[in-house]
Amino acid sequence: MNHATGRSANPDDASPVSGNVTQDAVVIVPGIMGSALRDTATGRLLWGLSGTRWLVRAWTGRDGLAALRMTDDELAGRFGRVTATGLLRHSAWTPHLRGFEPYTALGAAMRRCVPDPAAVLEFAYDWRIPVAVNGRLLAAAARKHLMDWRAHPAHDAARRLRRDETPARLVFVSHSMGGLVTQAALDPVHDSDLAGDTRAVLTLGTPFHGAVKAVSILNSGRGTPVPLPHGRLRRLCATMPGLHDLLPRYTCVLEGASARRLTPGDVAGIGGDPDLARLAADDAVRREAVALPGHHAVVGVRQETTQSLSIDGGVVHAHCHTVRRHSDDSFIRHPDGRLATFDCEGDGTVSTESAALGAFTTPLPLQHGAVAADPFAMDALAELVRGDRHLGPPMGGAGCGLDTPDLAEAGSPWTMTIRGPASPSGVTCRVERLDGTELPPARLSLHNRRLTATVRADEPGLYRVTVRSRDNSRVSQLVLVAPPGGAEADGNEDTSPDQPW
């Protein structure tokens, strides 16, 4: 025995060190477009195939993603035509929302926090249908998962090694729309004991108050032609309840010297469905009354993010700033009476103020699609899931922002902007196709106090842009490069349900 350290000199004489794992049951809830979908009758995969060629064909080919459009039966509440088969396992892309990293890193991180993989449930769902419906399904799935895990032999073994030795409770780890689905699941109307059996709800980039990006999607192509994929997404989402559940519910419509909330009439005028907007607003009121036990939000920051909008003749103009109010609820104004606006930034899709519900947040300089895959975010989540005191990830307040086009054309240059660093010194920018082909290093230059770089990819595909700042933090985004002519402007207004894709 080494009396100075209190440790055995012979490693064989030492007791094994127990792993720092939780006895709780973990449920991973992905965001919109984060679950693979199949046609129930034919088994055909409708969303979630691997490979850039499939993505390019889906967004620019003639048939596209037509099978994902809501049918009359589905709009009437008769679901089942489409089945969710699992979480996204491959990088994906969609207009406006841009790149989606797969959930493999999140799943792996959560499995390292538990004594057996059986403690982790990956809840896949049909993200096209209402959040309220998916919440009811999640409540039932979470209850079954908790009961199954409590009966598992590894549960009691892990419980005996914890200080409190309590039976497992639930920990929800929810990305984007998944946070709204989780909140809907905790409504006591589904399971009056589920909230009491939940230790924590951890959300990543959840738009609790909605996102202006959802309005932009519904309005794509109004007024001016847009690239083909953007018009296709609008037609897909125009009658999709899940997309209407993401509409902003805060004061976001700027009108001269005042501001107001978005109305169902606005939604109808910009290309959405007013009835779905009303239902979504009613469901949101019910969700907002549901408390989230042990809630902690991981929030993307420092990214250029649309936060408000104005409407002119049915055309939406999105703005990267928002209004604020004094404690007496009056708008903050300049001395001349003009509305004061503030750039609160966000993760590129969801504004910081929409994602930060409550006081317990971890800010990270990440894009929306990467917040559920970044190593710093995984470390923060792991500490929270294990139940240890959370100190926050290193460099949480530093880093940089990245703004890229969501769609580019092969052979044509496109420009990215990096926010935060004052000079190119110590900043690196890497652009690579997901098959491993790396483009020459992007040359950074300073324009109007922001770093920019111009890139050209000659081959179509899905490319990951990764920027590493001087403090060694990283931010990334996916860009789809379409074949020449594959991103042609789409000016169709889709006035007929038989509009060709």
Give pLDDT, residue 111: 97
Average model confidence (pLDDT) for the chain? 89
Q: Which residue has the higher pLDDT, 147 or 426?
A: 147
Indicate the pLDDT class of residue 227, thresholds 50, 70 and 90. Answer: confident
Q: 177-185 vs 131-150: helix axis angle to the nearest 10?
A: 70
CA 357 to chain centre: 15
Instruction: Say yes or no to pLDDT of 340 above 80.
Output: yes
Instruction: Give yes or no for residue 2 having a pLDDT over 50.
Output: no
pLDDT of 499: 38
Mean pLDDT of 68-89: 96
- Report the candidate in 147, 126, 243, 242 with the shortest Cα–Cα distance to residue 193: 147
Residue 122, classed as helix, strand or coil, is strand
| Sequence-ordered list of residues with C-beta below 8 angstroms from that of 220, at least 6 positions apart, any chain | 95, 96, 226, 230, 231, 233, 234, 271
Low-confidence winner among 38-52, 175-189, 251-265 (lowest mean pLDDT) = 38-52
Which two tokens mark 402?
């990245």
Q: Please provide the size of the chain in residues.
A: 501
Confidence label for 501 from pLDDT (cuts 50, 70 and 90):
very low
10 Å CB burial of residue 102 (0-12, 13-18, 19+) is buried
| Separation of alpha carbons 93 and 231, rounded Å | 15
Task: Say if residues 186 and 292 touch (Cβ distance below 8 Å).
Answer: yes
pLDDT of residue 389: 41
Work out the average pLDDT over 184-195.
97
Give me the residue label for tokens 């032999």. Answer: 153
Q: What tens digit of pLDDT does each residue of 116-162 get?
A: 999 999 999 999 999 999 999 999 999 999 999 999 999 999 998 88
d(CA 351, CA 308): 10
- Residue 426 — very low, low, confident or very high, per pLDDT cuts 50/70/90? confident
Inform me whether the pLDDT recorded for 385 exceeds 70.
Answer: yes
Q: How confident is the model at residue 1 (pLDDT cuts 50, 70, 90)?
A: very low
The structure tokens 């169902």 sit at: 264
Give the bridge partners for 38, in sequence order.
45, 83
Residue 494 pLDDT exceeds 50: no
Predicted confidence at residue 64, as pLDDT, reads: 76
Q: 100, 92 in Cβ contact below 8 A?
A: yes
The two structure tokens encoding residue 54: 């499939």
Instruction: Give the tokens for residue 342.
Output: 């503030």
Residue 5's pLDDT is 37
Whether residue 199 has pLDDT greater than 70: yes
CB 448 within 8 A of CB 475: no
DSSP for 27-72 reads EEE--TT-EEEEETTT--EEE---SHHHHHHHHHSSSTTGGGSPPH
Q: What DSSP designation does 403 have?
A: E
Average of pLDDT values for 104-110? 97
Average the pLDDT over 350-354 and give the result.
96
Q: Give me the amino acid identity at 160.
A: R
Write the single-letter amino acid at 246: L
pLDDT category at 492 given cuts 50, 70, 90 is: low
Which region among 121-135, 210-224, 330-344 has the lowest average model confidence (pLDDT)? Answer: 210-224
Provide the b/e sequence for 427-454 (b: ≥16 CB within 10 Å): bebebebbeeeebeebebeeeeeebbbe
Secondary structure class of 489 (helix, strand, coil)? strand
Task: For residue 487, give every residue at least 6 positions away whose Cβ sits within 8 Å of its Cβ, in sequence order, or none.
Answer: 60, 227, 228, 229, 407, 408, 409
Confidence of residue 491 (pLDDT cuts 50, 70, 90): low
| Mean pLDDT for the stretch of residues 292-308 | 96
Classify 409 as helix, strand or coil.
strand
Distance CA 468, CA 208 (A): 29
> For residue 27, what are its two tokens?
């449920």
Mean pLDDT of 379-392: 74
Residue-range domains of the chain with CATH: 19-210+271-303+344-397 (3.40.50.1820), 401-487 (2.60.40.10)
DSSP string, 424-470: STT-EEEEEETTS-BPPPPPPEEETTEEEEEEE-SS-EEEEEEEE-T
DSSP bridge partners of 363: 299
| DSSP at 102 | -
Q: pTM of the prediction?
A: 0.87
Confidence bin at 306 (pLDDT 50/70/90): very high
d(CA 180, CA 88): 18
Q: What is the DSSP letter of 89?
A: -
